[in-house]
Amino acid sequence: MVMGAVSFSAFAAKEVTKEEVQKMNLEKIGTVNTMAETTSPMDAKLSKMADEKGGKYFLVSAGREHGKFSATADVYK
């Protein structure tokens, strides 16, 4: 069970900063949006969604609280 969790996290999309996007010359391949009851699973959910789009990295471009938390992230490869 632990081995599966380690394997999954090794392939999960990683959150990056604007500076890293520029420095690494990453290519934007899309955008993802999510909404959650709490903030703690937000990065993991965005990472999974970026993975599903074929991305290796994501940059959170917007976040908002309106009873629930929502976020938008650009996905890069």
Q: What is the pLDDT of residue 24?
A: 97
Q: Which two tokens stand for residue 17?
A: 């900063």
The domain tally of the chain equals 1
Based on the number of CB atoms within 10 Å of its own CB, is 57 exposed (0-12), middle (13-18) or buried (19 or more)?
buried
Residue 50 has pLDDT above 90, yes or no: yes
Q: Give the mean pLDDT of 46-62.
A: 94
Range of the domain at 6: 2-76
Q: Which two tokens stand for residue 76?
A: 């890069």
Q: Give the mean pLDDT of 3-26.
A: 78
- pTM to 2 decimal places: 0.76
For the ranges 26-35, 38-47, 61-70, which has the lowest average pLDDT? 38-47
Phi, psi of 30 (to 5 degrees): 165, -170
Q: What is the CATH number of the domain that holds 7?
A: 3.30.1660.10
Considering only residues 44 and 9, tell me which one the structure prediction assigns the higher pLDDT: 44
